[in-house]
Amino acid sequence: MSTESVRIVWVYPDLLSTYGDRGNMLILAWRARMRGMPVETVEVRSDERLPDQGDIYLLGGGEDGPQALAAQRMTLDRGLHRALESGAALFAVCAGYQLVGSSFFAKGEMCAGLDLLDLSSDRGPTRAVGELAGTPAPDLGLPPITGFENHGGRTHLGAGVRPLARVTTGVGNDGASEGVWQGKIVGTYMHGPALARNPAIGDLLLSWATGSTMEPLDDAWPTRLRNERLAAVR
Amino acid sequence: MTSNTGPNKSLPLRAKVATSVSKTAAALSRAAGRGDGSVIGGWIGLKIDPDLLSHLAAGRRVALVSGTNGKTTTTRLTAAAMGVLGDVATNSLGANMPTGHTSALARAGHTPYAVLEVDEHYLDQVITATSPHVVALLNLSRDQLDRAKEVAMMASLWRDALRGRDTHVVANADDPMVVWAARVADSVTWVASGQRWHDDSWVCPECGAHIERVDGDWYCTGCDLRRPVPQWRLDGDAVVDPFGEHHLVTLQLPGRVNRANAATALAVAAQFGVRAADAVPRLGQVTSIAGRYATAVRDERTIRLLLAKNPAGWLEAFDMAEHVPTLLSINARDPDGLDTSWLYDVDFSPLHGRPVLITGDRAMDLAVRLEVNGVSFTHVTSFARALAAIPPGRLEVIANYTAFQDIRAELDRVN
């Protein structure tokens, strides 16, 4: 962690911000501030250099063209790669999730990803749209995940990484597994403000970033929201 | 066609039958209390004659209005402006797909003019069917992405729909996506309608470079796409026409965005030969549209309804709403889109300091959003409880589509 505050970096909101992606930055910042932790949020446009001193990096969703462009610019920039090598955390959703792998499918062709994790994505037979729920990997100590997915991709995990969850409703990676978890990186097809319904994932990222355990917050409203959404797919 | 031969008289037999059955079905639907008949009639008519819309449009001079937000209101304002010339057929109930257009034209009988609101996805199809004299394009922003085309793709569809057509376009100079789509047209009138929501147009649809905005102007940093010089603009409460003449527009509809819609309506009508000075008084007579901006009184509470269907619409609603108790209601049923992620695209902080109540199917999504936004709120489980929770006086209601309809039903479909 940087010396003074938790630095949250939203990568390329001009390219990777399809639907409520700002929410994850707002929720992380709010959860940190509620615990008295100083927070700095940084939005880095795609024509700017990515800082390598951030604590938590966020990659959002995007359309095909911007997704491909984001991959090219991040590969040249290397800022995110350097930050992760020095121990930063990364939360990547939807198109941003596909970017962390070795390749993804956009605008009718395979594109090179950032190659941060051992996974690859291609196009599925149908578009996955709707509620997504699952049982997380036990090691993570998380409650069930709940979100909304809207993507045409399918993601294949390599031997070196683990899924975030086992799917109970929806499609996720392939109808069986959802997302990825490796080191301090979480990737998911729960799009947009995924942390609104999964504050425990937000706290996991904050604990990785700070190296300390997060004390509980009054999560009455998120808990009611979670219960409602999980009941709706039961 | 001679001047006294209306469209219906020239219809082929199949189209005549289809028109007649369509009107009967619409009347039955209304009589049975099953709906307002604005869709069912057209649906049946098109089953009998698939080309019915073309047949009904033939012989009329048509204007189409499309965009993510404001198309129902702008259609009503344009129809009012065109009324200077004669009778105007219009789908003023907001039924904006070909079934709705067919119903509207069948119901209207023969009119020399038609002004039709068109769902963004159907623009190409409806241009082909109706050969419009003018197409008005208001704005493009994210709207129900779980089923709608993404913004850049929609702009591209519009561009393809307009290329090579013999139609005049009236378009918003302040929306880069609209400008990119419209500039392929042979002739365009640009209107400075404004753009409060920028987050879907930071990336140039032509070249992918960043779009820079400076004091109301905008330009692409990588290619020649830039804000065209508008012929129509706003100056306070006035609409300024291409000759620099100021027309004071006094509307019964709130907000700058509706003055901009009035400017578009005047620009469209001008293409048909309507003088702005003649049309302006008619715009002032337009009141609420399908309950939008409607006011009702219940239990000493004066309730105003504002419809906000997407992030750009919410920003406009906050601009229009007075600083009084405010009820927000959110659903996520099919017509709303099933995804509530957009709540995080909206900054609710303009509501700071107002008593805020929340309700609707997805009130919990809103609760979490407002908590993170630092806006205090009270959750109520019904509209009646919302009324009970505030003192006598004013209440602003801002709701998305089906939530709006639910509350309007509680107010006896106020209009």
Residues of chain B neighbouring A66 (CB-CB closer than 8 A): 203, 208
Instruction: Using CB atoms, pick whichever of A26, A65, A224 lies closest to residue B208.
Output: A65
Tokens 């446009």, located at residue: A45
CB A7 within 8 A of CB A30: no
- Are B229 and B363 in a shared domain? no
Give the range of the structural domain holding residue B315, as residue numbers without chain letter.
Answer: 295-410
Q: Confirm whether B8 is domain-assigned.
A: no
Q: Please report the pLDDT score of residue B52 as a whole number.
A: 87
- Whether residues B328 and B379 share a domain: the answer is yes
> Does some domain include residue B16?
no
Judge whether B142 and A191 are in contact, CB under 8 Å.
no
B317 and B272 in a common domain: no
| Averaged pLDDT of chain A | 95
Q: A6-232 has which fold?
A: Rossmann fold (3.40.50)
Query: Do B202 and B240 share a domain, yes or no?
Result: yes
Within-domain flag for B195? yes
- Measured distance CA(A108)–CA(A105) in Å, rounded: 7
Within-domain flag for B13: no
In terms of domains, do B202 and B253 share one? yes
Per-domain boundaries in chain A: 6-232
Contact at 8 Å (CB) between B229 and B192?
Answer: no
- Per CB-CB distance under 8 Å, the chain B contacts of A19 are 142, 145, 339, 341-342, 345
B244 and B363 belong to one structural domain: no
- Give the whole-angstrom CA distance, residue B127 versus residue B147: 22
The interface predicted TM-score (ipTM) is 0.96
Is residue B138 domain-shared with residue B231, that is, in the same domain? yes
Catalytic-labelled residue, pool A81, A151, A156, A191: A191
- What CATH number does residue B84 fall under? 3.40.1190.10
The pLDDT value given to residue B16: 80
Contacts of A68 in chain B (CB under 8 A): none
Last residue of one domain, picked from the residues B234, B263, B283: B283
- pLDDT tens digit sequence for A116-137: 999 999 999 999 999 999 999 9
Say which residue, B4 or B358, is predicted with more confidence: B358
B278 and B394 share a domain? no
| Residue B183 shares a structural domain with residue B309 | no
Contacts of B150 in chain A (CB under 8 A): 18, 63
Q: Which chain A residues touch B if contact means CB-CB below 8 Å?
A: 14-15, 17-23, 26-27, 30, 45-47, 63, 65-66, 69, 129-130, 148, 150, 191-193, 196-197, 221-222, 224-225, 228
| pLDDT computed for residue B121 by the predictor | 93
Q: Are residues B128 and B207 in the same domain?
A: yes
Summarised one tens digit per residue, pLDDT across range B93-143 is 768 999 899 989 988 888 999 999 999 999 999 999 999 999 999 999 887
Res. B190: pLDDT tops 70: yes
CB distance A130–B208 less than 8 Å? Answer: no
Q: State how far the Cα of B26 lies from the Cα of B192, in Å rounded to an integer.
A: 39
Range B3-21 average pLDDT: 67
B4 belongs to a structural domain: no
Confidence of residue B372 (pLDDT cuts 50, 70, 90): very high
Cα–Cα distance list, A105 to A17, A108, A116, A162 (Å)? 18, 7, 17, 22
* Final residue belonging to a domain, choices B232, B249, B283: B283
Interface test with B, best of A225, A229, A230, A233 (most B CBs within 10 A): A225
CA-nearest residue to A198 within chain B is B368
- Same domain as B248, residue B161: yes
Confidence label for B2 from pLDDT (cuts 50, 70 and 90): very low
What's the confidence (pLDDT) of residue B1? 36
Statement: residue A169 has pLDDT above 80? yes
Q: Which of A15, A26, A148 sits opposite B344 (nearest CB)?
A: A26
pLDDT for the residue B202? 84
Task: Tell me the per-residue pLDDT of B279-306, one tens digit each, with 9 for 90 and over.
Answer: 999 999 998 777 788 899 999 999 999 9
Most A CBs within 10 Å, among B200, B364, B370, B381, to test the A interface: B364
Across B16-25, b (16+ Cβ under 10 Å) vs e yields: bebbebbbeb
Q: What is the average per-residue pLDDT within B11-25?
A: 78
Number of domains in chain B: 2
Length of chain A equals 234
Residue B244 inside a domain? The answer is yes
Share of chain B above pLDDT 70, in %: 93
Contacts of B202 in chain A (CB under 8 A): 14
- Judged against a pLDDT cut of 50, whether residue B3 lies above it is answered with no
Phi-psi region of B97 (alpha: psi -120 to 50; beta: other; left: phi over 0): beta
As given in the structure block, the two tokens for residue A23 are 């929410």
B335 shares its domain with B221: no
Report the pLDDT value the prediction gives residue B201, as an integer from 0 to 100. Answer: 86
Nearest by Cα to A207 from A146, A118, A140: A140
Mean pLDDT of B8-23: 76
> Among candidates B346, B342, B385, which has minimal Cα distance to B362?
B342
Residues A202-211, mean pLDDT to the nearest whole number: 96
Residues 6 or more apart from B18 whose CB is under 8 A from it? B44, B45, B46, B48, B49, B52
Closest residue on chain A to B209 (Cα) = A47
Provide the pLDDT confidence category of residue B319 given band limits of 50, 70 and 90. confident
Residues B22-32: what's their mean pLDDT? 69
Please report whether residue B24 resides in a domain. Answer: no
Contacts of B363 by beta carbon, 8 Å cutoff, 6+ apart: B329, B330, B379
Q: In this predicted structure, what is the pLDDT of residue B29? A: 67
